[in-house]
């Protein structure tokens, strides 16, 4: 996957790796499925800075670290991360952990906004505030097989439960269906980012991110279009779904597994945007994405969205992307 990670345990300099994910905000297609984050995000009116965006969305709360009087597995003092406005405990961390405050977390990205290289569009929160996110749109879009539009976004996140550092995720958006796509790409690399740097360094870091993002999107354009050109038979589709969702040998009841496979096959034939991709590797991949985002879970939307971006849903789509790429060989 490709994601750029920032911030975290060492307050000055971090090394991070690139990963991709995806989501969608709006669509010109009248029958588009609702996005899983519709009820969780606040639409922004082109704020000039991340700080302004978070203030508009009510996400400018602060985090403090308080000792719990316990020892971790490494015999270190355990601390709770506490949201000061509500008193909610968001996680348990070690003594070296230093929270990155929301209003400071995404300042590295502001130079791209100032240069019209991106727009802050939506901001939201997961759980009780364990993780916040901002969706930023990049200029332009991809055309898959002529008329299947995929917009280009970056997802910026900051967590307070110790589960991750500040992240930037490449987020391609298939407009017709509001599927969130996850894709493993070649050319992943490490970059160094610091939150405590001067304006010149911030500018350099921001455009490093932009360069990496553009490179990854160029790769995705080629891969997605190749998938859309790769015709597959009904049997190849069934083999793909079987490999993606195999029988659980330890379970006597395989009815649920078979139901999932049937749902994916049905989405390939009649899901949102199926007329643009049916009978191709691209269609097979997107049928899995639609199942994951819209049918896999009936949990609270925040829990579902966390799975789609960071949990089981993301893992299933990463596997689906890998299997779809194998069809191209």
pLDDT surpasses 60 at 228: yes
149 and 121 in a single domain? The answer is yes
Q: What is the pLDDT of residues 150-201, one digit of tens each?
A: 989 888 888 899 887 788 888 888 877 656 565 555 444 334 344 455 566 6
Q: What's residue 39's pLDDT?
A: 62
Q: What's residue 14's pLDDT?
A: 30
204 and 306 in a single domain? The answer is no
52 and 102 in a single domain? The answer is yes
Total domain count, the chain:
2
DSSP state of 111: H
Using a pLDDT cut of 70, give the percent of the chain over it.
73
Q: What is the pLDDT of residues 19-44, one digit of tens each?
A: 444 433 334 444 556 555 556 688 89
Q: What is the pLDDT of residues 128-164, one digit of tens each?
A: 999 999 989 999 999 999 889 998 988 888 889 988 7
Domain hosting residue 246, numbered range: 227-326
Cβ-Cβ contacts under 8 Å for 46 (sequence gap 6 or more):
119, 120
pLDDT: is 28 or 317 the higher one?
317
Q: What's residue 144's pLDDT?
A: 94
Longest dimension (CA), the chain: 61
d(CA 284, CA 329): 16
262 and 309 in a single domain? The answer is yes
The beta-strand segments (E) located in 38-130 are: 41-43, 63-71, 77-83, 89-93, 119-126
Using a pLDDT cut of 90, give the percent of the chain over it.
42
Q: What's residue 298's pLDDT?
A: 58
178 and 205 in a single domain? The answer is yes
Q: What's residue 326's pLDDT?
A: 94
Average pLDDT over the chain, rounded to an integer: 80
142 and 163 in a single domain? The answer is yes
pLDDT surpasses 70 at 221: yes
Instruction: Decide: 94 and 68 in contact? Cβ < 8 Å.
Output: no
20 and 65 in a single domain? The answer is yes
Q: What is the pLDDT of residues 204-214, one digit of tens each?
A: 778 888 898 89
Q: What's residue 186's pLDDT?
A: 47
91 and 138 in a single domain? The answer is yes
102 and 234 in a single domain? The answer is no
The torsion angle over the Cα atoms of residues 80, 166, 322 and 285, rounded to 10 degrees, is 90
Cβ-Cβ contacts under 8 Å for 271 (sequence gap 6 or more):
177, 286, 287, 290
239 and 117 in a single domain? The answer is no
pLDDT: is 258 or 312 the higher one?
258
Q: What's residue 16's pLDDT?
A: 33
Domain termination site, one of 224, 244, 274: 224
Q: How confident is the model at residue 299 (pLDDT cuts 50, 70, 90)?
A: low
Q: Which residues pair with 3 in a beta bridge?
A: 169
Q: What is the pLDDT of residues 69-119, one digit of tens each?
A: 766 555 568 899 999 999 999 999 988 888 889 988 888 899 999 999 999
84 and 219 in a single domain? The answer is yes
Give the number of other Cβ atoms within 10 Å of residue 276's Cβ: 21
> What mean pLDDT do residues 222-246 have?
96
Domain termination site, one of 159, 189, 224: 224
Domain termination site, one of 194, 224, 254: 224
Instruction: Decide: 141 and 152 in contact? Cβ < 8 Å.
Output: yes
40 and 13 in a single domain? The answer is yes
């Amino acid at each position: 996957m490709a994601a750029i990670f920032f911030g975290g345990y060492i307050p000055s300099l971090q090394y991070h790796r690139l990963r991709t994910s995806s989501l969608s905000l709006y669509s010109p297609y009248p029958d588009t499925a609702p996005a899983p984050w519709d009820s969780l995000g606040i639409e922004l009116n082109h704020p000039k800075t991340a700080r302004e965006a978070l203030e508009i969305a009510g996400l400018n709360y602060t985090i403090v670290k308080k000792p719990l009087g316990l020892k971790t597995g490494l015999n270190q003092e355990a601390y709770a991360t506490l949201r000061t406005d509500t008193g909610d405990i968001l996680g348990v961390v070690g003594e070296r952990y230093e929270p990155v405050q929301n209003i400071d977390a995404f300042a590295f990205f502001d130079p791209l906004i100032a240069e019209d290289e991106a727009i802050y569009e939506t901001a939201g929160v997961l759980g009780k505030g364990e993780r916040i996110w901002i969706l930023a749109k990049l200029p332009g879009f991809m055309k898959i097989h002529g008329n299947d539009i995929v917009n280009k976004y970056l997802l910026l996140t900051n967590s307070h439960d110790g589960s991750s550092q500040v992240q930037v995720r490449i987020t391609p958006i298939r407009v017709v269906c509001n599927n969130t796509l996850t894709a493993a790409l070649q050319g992943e690399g490490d970059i160094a980012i610091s939150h405590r740097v001067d304006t010149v360094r911030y500018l350099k870091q921001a455009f490093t991110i932009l360069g990496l993002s553009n490179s990854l999107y160029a790769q995705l354009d080629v891969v997605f279009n190749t998938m859309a050109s790769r015709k597959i038979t009904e049997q190849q589709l069934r083999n793909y779904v079987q490999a993606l969702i195999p029988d659980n040998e330890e379970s006597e009841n395989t009815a649920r597994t078979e139901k999932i496979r049937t749902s994916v096959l049905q989405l390939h034939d009649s899901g949102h945007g199926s007329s643009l991709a049916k009978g191709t590797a691209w269609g097979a991949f997107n049928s899995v994405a639609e199942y994951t985002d819209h049918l896999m879970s009936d949990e609270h939307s925040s829990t579902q969205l966390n799975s789609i971006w960071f949990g089981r849903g993301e893992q299933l789509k990463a596997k689906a992307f890998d299997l779809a790429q194998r069809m191209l060989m």
